[in-house]
Structure 1
Amino acid sequence: MTGHIFPHLGWFGKHPAFGDFVSHGMSGVMQSAFESWLVPSLSHIRQYVGDDWQPVYDAMQPIRFWIGPSVLDTPWPVRGVICPSRDKVGRRFPLTLVDQGGASQSPPVLDHDQTFYAAAEQMAGAALGIVPDSLGALIPAAGGHPAAAQDPEPAFYWAVNPEPDPTALLKAAGPVDHVRAVSHRSYWWSAGVPGVRATAFMGAAGMPGPDALAWMITGVGAPEPQPGHVADPVAESAIQDTEQQETDLVTGDEDT
């Protein structure tokens, strides 16, 4: 089952059994792209949170993501989970699992299936509790090679329908067009914890900036607009303090 769900899985980050950064099954290009975004973003968040960094980080919920192929210049979408972790001496840095080619072409706003993400979170959680004999044994499903490059999507597409009314044709074209349009976007979300943390979601043009990632990690404060990173901040109604006991669905609107 895991081989089917995780055909091209790799991971990198920190693990309690090791004293520094470790990785397995990740392409060098992919790992470099993630590190160049995640390392400075976390540094910014540590400064923003200050002395509360450790408890805030430890309360972080795993963050699920789907990244369009144009964001990291890959021929396929990338998906995965970012889970809180630390190294042998307690230095905090996430363990990130990345599916390097098995992702659905449809973004999570169209394909709502959470099977992969829930399984990846469970696998990461289990990995953090063991002392492996080798890096390859830490997450047994990891180590697959990145998926082979695919032919680029044509610049345009077309469709016909023998029915004179265009309504059905336009309706059918909507999801196809959406898949193509989100090539430059990424989506980030986390499952909620009843009575503790609401379910959270955000979409970004490209990778999210540090303030947006801080919102996902801390659960408080709306991300500020960041040209080249995210569009409008979430609606005011979506801002919730972590101490609130509300479990209402939190939504945010974006202009695309």
Structure 2
Amino acid sequence: MRNRDVEDWWDAVGWYGKMPANGDFVHRRLSRELVQWWDKWLQTGVAGLHQRNADRSIEAEFQGAPLWNFAIPSGFGSGVVQLGCIGPSRDRVGRSYPLVITLSMPERDFSPAVLAGASGFYRQLGGSLLAALRRGCNPEQFDQSLRLACGEINAMVAVQTSVADDPGADILSVLNVGHGTPVPVGVHDELGWRDLPSYFNPNSHTSYWWTNTIEGAAYKSHVHGGALNATLFNKLFVSHAGYR
């Protein structure tokens, strides 16, 4: 990844799902193959909600789930590394379905330092999701809000460049690049998972999920081995007592 203008990152950040201000599925800047890749998992999870929702308590639990950041390797058949955020949503008439935002990149463009500088990026994704899920912004407003996240990608690139210049630098020294004094702990804790950059493997079959704290959710993390499945969906959106 190299430093670019915000517009140059625009094509790499896409989204898919349902939102309260719209009546059906919406998406922007995701290939048909990537939409189908996400939909296969999400439809399986939502179908499970419907099967278990005799008293509608499961539906309410889904809507009360936190926002989740993720880092997904390319080894699942999508062909790209994906960094993004997903949250519980519904369409205008109340049909539940998540809304997901993802930055997709070829494996060759990924380095651990990309994640090390991603705290602001994940924070902006959380803010955009909140605007859609809680404040009723329409698809175009939601889409335009992602320009802020695109602007944060250059911060990720800057950290990557610093690591390239100093291969021996550890994560803490990387985070202090460009600052006269050490960065306060709270500045970068949106990423939450401080060791993740060191062990995320972009061509593995292990994905990483952790709560986005922009809405005050308690920090939780989950490592999932293998393809995205109903067990993972339930872990994120149903079995989440105490996460918020």
Q: TM-score range by the shorter chain?
A: 0.5 to 0.7
Secondary structure in 1 aligned to 2:208? strand
Equivalent residue for 1:184, pick from 201, 205, 210:
205
Are the aligned partners of 1:107 and 1:182 in contact in 2 as well (CA < 8 Å)?
no
Corresponding letter in the other structure for 1:203: V
Distance 1:177 1:112 in 2: 13
Q: Are residue 123 (structure 1) and residue 128 (structure 2) matched?
A: yes
Are the aligned partners of 1:70 and 1:184 in contact in 2 as well (CA < 8 Å)?
yes
- Find the counterpart in structure 2 of residue 66 from structure 1: 71
Distance 1:214 1:92 in 2: 14
Distance 1:126 1:64 in 2: 16
CA RMSD of aligned residues (A): 3.6
Query: How far did 1:191 drift?
Result: 3.7
Residue ranges of structure 1 left out of the alignment (5+ in a row): 145-174, 221-240, 246-256
- Find the counterpart in structure 2 of residue 213 from structure 1: 233
Matches within 5 A, 1:1-256: 8-48=12-52, 50-51=54-55, 52-74=57-79, 76-101=80-105, 104-106=110-112, 111=116, 113-128=118-133, 129-132=135-138, 135-140=139-144, 141=146, 178=199, 180=201, 183-191=204-212, 198-220=218-240, 241-242=241-242
The 10-residue stretch of structure 1 (200-209 or 92-101) with the greater mean CA deviation from structure 2? 200-209
Distance 1:125 1:64 in 2: 13
Corresponding letter in the other structure for 2:12: H
Aligned residues: 188
Are the aligned partners of 2:116 and 2:197 in contact in 1 as well (CA < 8 Å)?
no
Point out the structure with max Rg over C-alpha: 1
| Residues 1:126 and 1:2: Cα distance change in structure 2 (over 3 Å) | farther
| Residues 1:178 and 1:58: Cα distance change in structure 2 (over 3 Å) | closer
* Structure 2 length-normalised TM: 0.63
Corresponding letter in the other structure for 1:58: Q
Residue ranges of structure 2 left out of the alignment (5+ in a row): 151-195
The structure richer in helix per residue is: 2
